[in-house]
Amino acid sequence: MNIITLDNVSKVFRLKADRKLLRDHIADRFRDRAANDFYALKNVSFQVSQHESVAIVGANGAGKSTLLSLVVGLTKPDAGRIEVEGRVAALLELGSGFHPDLTGMENIFLNAALLGYGEKQVRNVLGQIIEFAEIGEFIHEPLRSYSSGMIVRLAFSVAVHVDPAILIIDEVLAVGDAAFQEKCRQRIDSLRAEGRTLLCVSHVAGAVREICERAIWLDHGELIMDGPSQEVITAYTDYMNDPHKGLPARTASPAPKVRVMRPGSAKRRATGHSA
Amino acid sequence: MWNGDYQFLLRNLIVKDFKIRYRNMSLGVFWSLINPLIMMGVLAFVFARIFRADSIPHYALYILCGILPFNFLTMAWVSGTSSLLDNAGLIKRVPVPREIVPIASVLSNCLHLLIQIGLLLTFVVLFGVGVNVEWFWLPFLWGLAIMLVCGMSLITSGLNIYMRDTRYVVESVNTVLFWLIPVFYPLSMVPAQYRNIYMYNPVAVLVEALRYVLLKAEAPPANMVLRLTVFSFGALIVGLVSFNRLKARFYDYL
């Protein structure tokens, strides 16, 4: 079952998009818009099925974050089609949706509500969230007294406990000590075993190779390569070390090159889970 | 897309706004009582003692009846207008339904309002006409006021993303509004040819309707109730429709 489907998705950003002056809005009506457009994503197509863990790699400005924001549903594509099924829990930024003046406890409730969880559901997993985050008695202190490691642990803990169908992680795993990273990896593995999907983004290729089995390489908004993470990341690091070699030959057609991982085992596990 | 527990999220956002506003203040929610009382005292002094306009019975109470709705509407409107920008982190990172942000911001002002209404009713009982059956109008009138300001905030908060001046326009309108609604003067003092224009200002209509109930123990005239209903539902519908059109590109502009 495809849980994320992107079909020829493009996202256009207008240069000077942060303008907020009336005269610009008016001038915009008369100006040729295409001149100011640039593609953050261009004709990107791929599918992700349940159980898969996919890394998105690429240099700064390759369109990784834009891609995630589209999957999360924060913004809409200018062309193409996106379908996402199930609850998405996204760790897009250190403690997004957290407020420094609220205590850790209050932030748990706020964040879980933002992710779409109900009150009873939060209370059921509250103990697990606090325990996993290893915050201790600081849970009743305002968040501004937390170290960045504590915030990331809390954010991660909420995200993995709200029963997400898709977990999205954007660079944040780099924070936190080795022990906690190991714990996160285990938790991610168990989520995947339960049939959850993982999407993670990094420009540090090594980190994602261990967590993800499939990788997608983006460059200037275009999909360069999609395949087993070992192959893609090797090609990506080769290219980054010596860009003069040029990008690898792409499949000529914009049609997606999709590899569904272990379809047999995925199915078995899915039925095992529901039983 | 986001299909979580809307009510739970709304409650959490309201509580968040409220806690953030008061957590670091020593007097906390007492400010909701102090602020209108100071305004009432100053206005009563200036207009009753200096301008000698004390022909209105219960003049201080009369002023309070005008200040409370004015304060609530302007404060809720301003905070609703800037709410999307203040919560840019949410809009850019979490796919929550966008309209929940300005609405939560307006509703978080309601506890404030509730305390002030308590103050007003206490004053009415102590110095005015006392409790009477017409008080059943109050929840209805205040409900319409909340709807009105939700609608206005939906319009201006969306616009504020694209034109950051919107907030200042709202603040200027509020300053002007203070003089153009009958807070410290009676509507009957307004020359007849302008009085019709006043009746197109929903805040003025609300203030007058509240005074019928609280100061005269009479039901507000049907004409006023009808106007207020139309204005409030109209504002909410226009607000929801325009917000729906504006929200598509919030992410790109924040």
Here the tokens at position B157 are 């908060």
Mutant choice from A70, A74, A83, A143 vs B, greatest count of B C-beta within 10 A: A74
For residue B20, the chain A residue with the least C-alpha distance is A101
- Range of B131-135, B149-153, B176-180 with top mean pLDDT: B149-153
The pair phi, psi for residue B37, each rounded to 5°, is -70, -40
Q: Is the pLDDT of residue A274 over 50?
A: no
HEC letters along B188-210:
HHCCHHHHHHHCCCHHHHHHHHH
Question: Are A25 and B162 inside 8 Å of each other by CB?
Answer: yes
- What's the whole-number average pLDDT of chain A? 78
Q: Find the mean pLDDT for residues A152-157.
A: 86
- For residue range A78-91, list pLDDT tens digits in order: 888 998 887 777 77
Q: How far is A225 from chain B (nearest CA, A)?
A: 27
Run of H or E including B37: helix B31-44
Q: Per-residue confidence at A53, pLDDT binned at 50, 70, 90?
A: confident
Report the C-alpha gap between B97 and B6 in whole angstroms: 9
**Cα A118 to chain centroid, rounded:** 23
Report the C-alpha gap between A209 and A28 in whole angstroms: 44
Interface A-B: count of C-beta contacts within 8 A? 92
Give B-chain residues touching A141 at CB under 8 angstroms.
Answer: none
pLDDT at A257 (0 to 100): 40
User: Cβ of A103 under 8 Å from any chain B Cβ?
Assistant: no
Give B-chain residues touching A119 at CB under 8 angstroms.
Answer: 5, 8
- CA of A123: how far to CAs of A45, A112, A150, B235, in Å? 39, 10, 21, 38
Q: Is the pLDDT of residue B21 over 50?
A: yes
Question: Are B95 and A74 inside 8 Å of each other by CB?
Answer: yes
Report the C-alpha gap between A273 and A195 in whole angstroms: 8
User: Cβ of A20 under 8 Å from any chain B Cβ?
Assistant: yes
Give A-chain residues touching B1 at CB under 8 angstroms.
Answer: 73, 84
Nearest Cβ partner for B95 among A21, A72, A102: A72
Residue with tokens 């079952």: A1
Question: Are B5 and A117 inside 8 Å of each other by CB?
Answer: yes
For residue A122, the chain B residue with the least C-alpha distance is B8
Are B232 and B202 in contact by the 8 Å Cβ rule? The answer is yes
Q: What percent of chain B has pLDDT above 90?
A: 50
**3-state helix, strand and coil shares in percent for chain B, rounded to the nearest 5:** 80, 0, 20
Q: Where are the alpha helices (DSSP H) in B87-201?
A: 88-93, 100-107, 109-127, 137-162, 166-180, 192-198
Q: Find the mean pLDDT for residues B239-247.
A: 93
Q: Find the mean pLDDT for residues B146-174.
A: 94
Nearest Cβ partner for B94 among A14, A97, A106: A97
For residue A93, the chain B residue with the least C-alpha distance is B93
pLDDT at B103 (0 to 100): 95
Q: Where are the alpha helices (DSSP H) in chain A?
A: 22-30, 64-72, 104-114, 119-133, 148-161, 178-193, 205-211, 229-241, 263-274
Of A107, A76, A99, the residue nearest A12 (C-alpha): A76
For helices B59-86 and B137-162, what crossing angle results, to 10°? Answer: 40
Of A200, A71, A94, the residue nearest A155 (C-alpha): A94
User: Cβ of A39 under 8 Å from any chain B Cβ?
Assistant: no
Burial class (CB in 10 A: 0-12, 13-18, 19+), B229: middle
A62 three-state secondary structure:
coil
User: Cβ of B251 under 8 Å from any chain A Cβ?
Assistant: yes
Q: Is the pLDDT of residue A186 over 60?
A: yes
pLDDT at B10 (0 to 100): 92
Q: Find the mean pLDDT for residues A29-41.
A: 70
pLDDT at A75 (0 to 100): 84
- For residue range A203-253, list pLDDT tens digits in order: 667 767 777 889 998 888 888 889 888 888 888 888 888 877 777 766 444
User: Cβ of B245 under 8 Å from any chain A Cβ?
Assistant: no
Report the C-alpha gap between B62 and B80 in whole angstroms: 28
Strands A2-14 and A214-219, sheet pairing: unpaired
Q: How far is A16 from chain B (nearest CA, A)?
A: 10
Question: Are A88 and B95 inside 8 Å of each other by CB?
Answer: yes
- For residue range B96-116, list pLDDT tens digits in order: 889 999 999 999 988 889 988
Of A273, A67, A54, A267, the residue nearest A167 (C-alpha): A54
Of A12, A21, A89, A84, the residue nearest A48 (C-alpha): A84
Q: In what order do the strands lie in the sheet with A2-14?
A: A37-49, A2-14, A79-84
CA distance between the termini of chain B: 20
Report the C-alpha gap between A171 and A207 in whole angstroms: 9
Q: Is the pLDDT of residue A65 over 90?
A: no
Give B-chain residues touching A114 at CB under 8 angstroms.
Answer: 9, 12, 90, 94, 96
Q: Per-residue confidence at A272, pLDDT binned at 50, 70, 90?
A: very low
Give B-chain residues touching A20 at CB under 8 angstroms.
Answer: 161-164, 253
pLDDT at B68 (0 to 100): 92
pLDDT at A262 (0 to 100): 33
Q: Is the pLDDT of residue A263 over 60?
A: no
- For residue range B32-82, list pLDDT tens digits in order: 788 888 988 888 888 888 877 667 778 888 888 999 999 999 999 999 999
User: Cβ of A220 under 8 Å from any chain B Cβ?
Assistant: no
Q: Which residue has the higher pLDDT, A30 or B30?
A: B30
Q: How far is A10 from chain B (nearest CA, A)?
A: 14
B46 three-state secondary structure:
helix
Give B-chain residues touching A124 at CB under 8 angstroms.
Answer: none
Residue B58, Ramachandran bin (φ over 0: left; ψ between -120 and 50: alpha; else beta):
left
- For residue range B199-237, list pLDDT tens digits in order: 899 999 999 999 999 998 899 999 999 999 999 999 999
Report the C-alpha gap between A208 and A191 in whole angstroms: 16
- For residue range A138-147, list pLDDT tens digits in order: 999 999 898 8
User: Cβ of A87 under 8 Å from any chain B Cβ?
Assistant: yes
Give B-chain residues touching A76 at CB under 8 angstroms.
Answer: 248
Q: Is the pLDDT of residue A44 over 50?
A: yes
pLDDT at A260 (0 to 100): 36
Q: Find the mean pLDDT for residues B127-152.
A: 92
Task: Note whether ipTM > 0.90 here.
Answer: no
* pTM score, whole prediction: 0.83
Q: Is the pLDDT of residue A94 over 70?
A: no
pLDDT at B23 (0 to 100): 77
- CA of A152: how far to CAs of A184, B35, B124, in Å? 11, 40, 53
Q: How far is A142 from chain B (nearest CA, A)?
A: 11
pLDDT at B214 (0 to 100): 92
Q: Find the mean pLDDT for residues A43-47.
A: 90
Give B-chain residues touching A169 at CB under 8 angstroms.
Answer: none
Question: Are A69 and B251 inside 8 Å of each other by CB?
Answer: yes
**3-state helix, strand and coil shares in percent for chain A, rounded to the nearest 5:** 45, 25, 30
For residue B164, the chain A residue with the least C-alpha distance is A20
Residue B46, C-beta contacts closer than 8 angstroms, at least 6 positions apart: none
Lowest-pLDDT range of A110-124, A246-260, B143-157: A246-260
Residue with tokens 């306009």: B53
Q: Is the dihedral of CA A164, A113, B10, B247 positive or negative?
A: negative
